[in-house]
Chain A
Amino acid sequence: MVVIINNKNTETAASNLQELSVELNLPEKGVAIAINNQMVPRADWSKTAIQEMNDIIIIKAACGG
């Protein structure tokens, strides 16, 4: 499936935000994720499903994005 992460089309096998965070090796702290412009608390990542062409913004404490 392809999703848009920080304006870039990105292939992912993840079905929810928690899986995506593992796939992207996101750190335990200093990460904020928004899906379709809605920020999702870390506690809700595992129950937030992602779908084809979802618009995902990841603000993380590592250069770039």
Chain B
Amino acid sequence: MIQFISHYNERYTYLDSIRLALDGGCKWIQLRMKKKSPEEIMPIALEAQQMCREAGATFIIDDHVALVKEIHADGVHLGKNDMPIQDARELLGPDYIIGGTANTFEDLLAHYKAGANYIGCGPYRFTTTKENLSPILGVEGYKNIIEQMKRHSISIPIVAIGGITIEDIPDIMQTGISGIALSGTILRADDPIKTMQEIIDITQKYKK
């Protein structure tokens, strides 16, 4: 299960990046445009949402709860400095997916109790995409969190995030993590569409 997080570089715009991910077969897109206002994000979000609908992909937006509700996106992803999950749930009601970023089992437990539907857990390793970095987790960090979830009888899908490359994916999936969130790995690839296809193949072949 792959979530693509939009980004831009000298080659691609936000929408280009989403188009590449969808063309590579990705069915879960997060539009993240840090430091942009809802007014700036709205037109891009509407276009991205249309692209996702046509491709049958789930479309969520980072941070902007009101915008998600206004354009009827599928859900919102909330980072550590965004709106608390219970507040977002109150605003959105039961019909939207809410994801939360967690760095530790304690974060995860809090998000789970607050009504999150999935967890973005990381960072796996150091990455320049995200500022305000938390301590890196690595494979051992994920094993540890999965172990504690079992101990507390908690089940919630977890997506690993943060500087993950193709080579890392088998080891991460081995821990019991449900999916992988990617951004830079796709955009920096020589052929982003082919790279996305390869990554989806790898996760699909993987069985617990």
Contact = CB atoms under 8 A, between A and B. Distances in A.
Given A39-B28, A61-B94, A34 B178 contact: yes
B192 interface: no
A30 B95 CA distance: 5
Interface string B24-63: 0011100000000000000000000000000111100000
Interface stretch (B8-16, B129-137, B199-207): B199-207
Contacts of A8: 155
Interface string A7-42: 110000000000000000001011110101111111
Interface string B57-76: 11000000000000000110
Interface string B117-144: 1100000000000000000000000000
Given A27-B95, A30-B75, A55 B208 contact: yes
Contacts of A41: 27, 55-57
Interface of B: 1-2, 26-28, 55-58, 74-75, 94-98, 115, 117-118, 155-157, 173, 176, 178-179, 200, 203-204, 206-208
| The 7 residue pairs across chains A and B that have the minimum distance between CB atoms | A41-B56, A39-B27, A34-B1, A37-B203, A32-B58, A30-B95, A63-B115
Contact of B56 (A34, A37, A42, A57): A42
Given A59-B117, A60-B97, A39 B1 contact: yes
B1 A37 contact: yes
Nearest to B200: A38
A61 B75 contact: yes
Contacts of A43: 56
Nearest to B28: A39
Contacts of B55: 41
B175 to A, nearest CB: 12
